[in-house]
Structure 1
Amino acid sequence: MPDTATVFNIAASEEVAEQGRLVVDIGSVSVGVFRFKGQVYAYRNICPHQGGPACQGRIINRVRENLNEQKMSQGLSFDKDVMHIVCPWHGLEFDVTNGIHPGDSAYKLRALEVVETDGRIHVTL
């Protein structure tokens, strides 16, 4: 890997659908690119827990427990305003917009600079 940052033209914009992903290898580095609410996000495809391919797991909306006034569970629902990536190895979830595990901010995916211009997606390594 070079000592200086390099920008890579990795895909056409339409290759990453809304609430979708694209995983690409740039040399020896695996990168996951996601689109949520029109924005693109990129992360190294390595789970901070045990090195699993986090970006290749399920993409789901955050699950919320619905509580009544007495704090008793009224069931679960999906929160359409938050999207999670779920590592396929052990189920750790990460917010797609910041790469952080919702229960422990010490666990976070390594974010990469990503820019979308002229119908192309560019990632900096």
Structure 2
Amino acid sequence: MSEYSAGKVDDYADGDRKVVICGDAEIGVFRIGDAFYAWHNRCAHLGGPVCQGRIMKRVLEPVDADLTVRSQAYDESESHIICPWHGYEFSIRTGQHPGNARARLKKAEIIVRDGEIYVRP
């Protein structure tokens, strides 16, 4: 299986991403802390360029006893990617949509070797 270069580890700061062309596929490579994650740049909803969307902390909407939402908060431990087409959000660590277990991103294999990052679609 072919490997494609995604740059050097040192080129990525915490929270960075890069979209890499890998043959017929586009792969988004993300760095969260010291870990790297790679996802196909195709939203599970309608195929939008999800890896090019906004990165933000997971949005939490605490529900009151009367089932109304009075505020929003952010989970600082979980970063999400937001698809620019329709706003679907996915965990960068797991690729899963927080409210729909069937909606998830397609994972790409990531290899870190000698300070270089490679992906396999």
TM-score of the aligned structures, taking structure 2 as reference length? 0.89
Aligned to 1:91: 87
Within the candidate set 30, 53, 58, 1:57 is matched to 53
Aligned to 2:97: 101
Q: Secondary structure at the match of 2:51?
A: helix
Given that 1:32 and 1:43 are in contact with CA atoms closer than 8 Å, whether structure 2 keeps it comes out as yes
Please list every run of 5 or more consecutive structure 1 residues that lacks an aligned counterpart in the other structure: none
C-alpha spacing 1:69/1:50, structure 2 compared with 1 (3 Å)? closer
Cα separation, 2, equivalents of 1:52 and 1:73: 29
| 1:24 Cα deviation from its structure 2 partner | 1.2
The CA RMSD over aligned residues, in Å, is: 1.8
- 4+ residue segments displaced more than 6 Å: 68-72
Q: Secondary structure at the match of 2:61?
A: strand
Please list every run of 5 or more consecutive structure 2 residues that lacks an aligned counterpart in the other structure: none
Residue 76 of structure 1 aligns with an amino acid whose one-letter code is Q
Cα separation, 1, equivalents of 2:69 and 2:98: 20
Cα separation, 2, equivalents of 1:28 and 1:49: 20
Cα separation, 1, equivalents of 2:65 and 2:115: 48
Count how many residue pairs are aligned between Structure 1 and Structure 2. Answer: 121
Given that 1:32 and 1:44 are in contact with CA atoms closer than 8 Å, whether structure 2 keeps it comes out as yes
Identity of aligned residues (%): 37
| 1:10 Cα deviation from its structure 2 partner | 2.2
Cα separation, 2, equivalents of 1:83 and 1:33: 14
| 1:20 Cα deviation from its structure 2 partner | 1.4
Cα separation, 1, equivalents of 2:12 and 2:39: 14
Which deviates the most, 23-32 or 64-73?
A: 64-73
Q: For residues 56-92 of structure 1, what are the alpha-carbon distances to aligned partners after superposition, in whole Å with 9 as ceiling and x for unaligned?
A: 0000000112457887655221111001000000000
TM-score of the aligned structures, taking structure 1 as reference length? 0.86
Aligned to 2:39: 43
Given that 1:16 and 1:33 are in contact with CA atoms closer than 8 Å, whether structure 2 keeps it comes out as no
Q: Secondary structure at the match of 2:71?
A: strand
